[in-house]
Amino acid sequence: MLYSALINVMVKAARRAGRSLKRDLGEIEHLQVSLKGPANFVSLADKRAEEMLYTDLEKARPGYGFLGEEGGQREGSDKSHTWIVDPLDGTTNFLHGIPQFAISIGLKREDTIIAGVIYNPANDELYIAERGKGAFLNDQRLRVAGRRQLNECVVACGLPHIGRGNHQLALQEMAALQTKVAGFRRFGAASLDLAFVAAGRLDGFWERNLQPWDIAAGQIMVREAGGTVSGIQGNDDPLQTGHVVCGNEFVHGELIKILKPLGH
């Protein structure tokens, strides 16, 4: 498949950082794991991957701003473009040797995400999306699932982490949903949950209290695959609120109907 110059830059950076993560996955015991807060792990793998991504993206597009989970905000001279990067989404999975983690790169122009790349080096699955041009998994065009009966749907959620978010509310949400869906999942890497919705593997996904780097690339992935993405209110912006709900238009609507009243 012929990528645009922009996607090429993002894919190259993701693949190089992916090789670094894969090397580190083989030597988890040497990774100097530390805690940023309760249940909030970071390792040398996260930091190395982010530095590589910063180096490659900065070299290819000098002046763009860069927001990364580990390095924070780095201002650029070009105020309209910002990379939004999670060098390792699913650190807990990674540190346990569970192959559900990814590099997530979004590009924001003004207030709009215009491109996203999500790469899982463990199984070499590469998701790309560009505004108006569709979403792809390893060169195959993606389309969200078409199911319109919630009791036929497989839906995933995220759970709040210790010290963050409302645990009681999360349990209420799951209780409300589990009797209505065909299957329930919790994978632990938000970018891949969103990518799975884009790929039609999951019919829906929601999670509260996420950060822009968890959502930026996945959000455009779902939209370019024909899905609907919002916050819990149904028409709010996940990048602003940190809450995300997605699926095809029908599933998204059903999820909002159930989740929105519970939050009050």
* 158 is a site residue for ligand 2AM (CB under 6 A): yes
Per-position x/- string for 163-202, each x denoting binding to ligand 2AM as judged by CB under 6 A, each - no binding: -x-----------------------xxx------------
Does the footprint of Ca ion cover residue 69 (CB under 5 A)?
yes
Q: Which helix (H) or strand (E) holds 26?
A: none
Burial 117-133 (b: 16+ CB within 10 A, else e): bbbbbbeebbbbbbeee
Residue 193 sits in the site that holds Ca ion (CB under 5 A): no
The stretch among 61-69, 148-156, 180-188, 224-232 that binds Ca ion (CB under 5 A) is 61-69
- Mapping DSSP to helix (H, G, I), strand (E, B) and coil, where does residue 90 land? coil
Q: Where are the beta strands (DSSP E) in the chain?
A: 34-37, 40-42, 64-68, 72-74, 78-89, 102-109, 112-120, 125-130, 134-137, 140-141, 154-157, 183-185, 204-207, 228-230, 244-247
Is residue 89 annotated as involved in ligand binding? yes
Q: Which of residues 73-132 bind ligand 2AM (CB under 6 A)?
A: 86, 89-92
Contact at 8 Å (CB) between 73 and 80? no
Give SS3 for 132: coil
Q: Is 214 annotated as a binding residue?
A: yes
By beta-carbon proximity to ligand 2AM, the closer residue of 19 and 164 is 164
Using the rule CB under 6 A, is 7 a contact of ligand 2AM?
Answer: no
What mask of x and - would describe binding to ligand 2AM in positions 44 to 83, judged by CB under 6 A?
-------------------------x--------------
Asked if residue 89 binds Ca ion (CB under 5 A), the reply is: yes
Note whether 39 binds ligand 2AM by CB under 6 A: yes
Residue nearest to Ca ion (CB): 89
Does residue 86 bind Ca ion (CB under 5 A)? yes
Please work out, in degrees rounded to the nearest 5, the angle formed at the alpha carbon of residue 15 by the alpha carbons of 116 and 134.
30
Q: Is 31 helix (H, G, I), strand (E, B) or coil?
A: coil
Distance of CA 97 to the CA centre of its chain: 19
* Annotated binding-site positions: 69, 86, 88-89, 214
Which stretches of the chain bind Ca ion, using CB under 5 A? Answer: 69, 86, 88-89, 214
